[in-house]
Amino acid sequence: MTTKAVAMEEIERDNGSFDAAAFSRQALSSSHSLAAVFDHTLLKPQTTREQAIKLCEEAAEHRFACAMVNPAWVSTAHAVLAGSGVPIGTVLGFPLGASLSISKRKEAVELVKLGAHDLDMVLNIGMLKSGMNDRVQQDIRGVVEVAHEAGAIVKVILETCLLNIEEKLRASELAIAAGIDFLKTSTGFSTGGATPEDVAMLRGVAGSRCGVKASGGIRTLADAMAMLEAGANRIGASASVSILRELQQD
């Protein structure tokens, strides 16, 4: 066994276990179960109001975990999904993570007022790479405090394609210490998306302390299966409906 594998085993033992195999089997047991792990997502800058509404209608029809829209469409999503029981997700500090911490916090305040429940924020990558651990943690905690006070949740996007192994591990620990609800791999707008290897690494750090969301480039049922088997318990995708159809056809 490699030194890295031994280290990951120790991390998982310290942080409590998450049974990825059992979760994956349950999620893939029916289209309803699989839908419940998907953040149905449309974050392209050219997204129109009509497209955002359609996304929300699909989320309500299939009972996805949430409908993930850009901040400008949160109020529209709230109107469409009112009474459906499907939460609204949105992004902040997106896609670079380089906004001022006070800007992220104020954005969080306004987004929860508009009805957002899932806040996916981008970690300050430059500060992480500069070794400014306290600032990175404070940046995250500012959003977490606002969200949790309002009954919302926070997913921190690490943008794993831009980080080395040490940075991924350190970022994960800082985010968990700040109180986040999910570690998330990617924005989908950088040089790469989710990989099973990164998902497994994040789950190794998280254990059962928080969720792990795989996002970026997940377009097929095989992609989704690989992420679930690696330890994801939430998946962000714009291809959610077609992935469900693949499962139904099997």
What pLDDT is recorded for position 250?
Answer: 76
Does position 14 have pLDDT exceeding 90, yes or no?
no
Domains of the chain: 3-249 (3.20.20.70)
Residue 162 pLDDT level (bands cut at 50, 70, 90): very high
What is the arithmetic mean of pLDDT over 71-93? 98
Farthest-apart Cα atoms in the chain, separation: 53
What mean pLDDT, rounded, does the chain reach?
94
Does position 9 have pLDDT exceeding 80, yes or no?
no
Q: Which residues contact 246 (CB under 8 A, 6 or more apart)?
A: 220, 221
Which two tokens mark 246? 């693949």
CB atoms within 10 A of CB 204: 22
Q: Which residues contact 242 (CB under 8 A, 6 or more apart)?
A: 219
What pLDDT is recorded for position 236?
Answer: 98
Does position 159 have pLDDT exceeding 70, yes or no?
yes
* Full-model pTM: 0.93
Three-class SS state of 120: strand
What is the arithmetic mean of pLDDT over 141-151? 98
Work out whether the CA dihedral 196, 198, 201, 202 comes out positive or negative. Answer: negative
Which residues form the catalytic set? 120, 184, 213
Q: Which residues contact 134 (CB under 8 A, 6 or more apart)?
A: none
Burial status of residue 82 (CB atoms within 10 A of its CB: 0-12, 13-18, 19 or more): exposed
Which two tokens mark 198? 């990164």
CB 77 within 8 A of CB 67: yes
Kindly report, residue by residue over 33-71, the tens digit of the pLDDT: 999 999 999 999 999 999 999 999 999 999 999 999 999
Kindly report, residue by residue over 170-187, the tens digit of the pLDDT: 999 999 999 999 999 999
Measure the CA–CA gap between 182 and 164, rounded to whole angstroms.
Answer: 20
What pLDDT is recorded for position 16?
Answer: 80
Residue 94 pLDDT level (bands cut at 50, 70, 90): very high
Measure the CA–CA gap between 119 and 151, rounded to whole angstroms.
Answer: 11
Which two tokens mark 72? 């400008």
Strands 211-215, 182-184: pairing is parallel
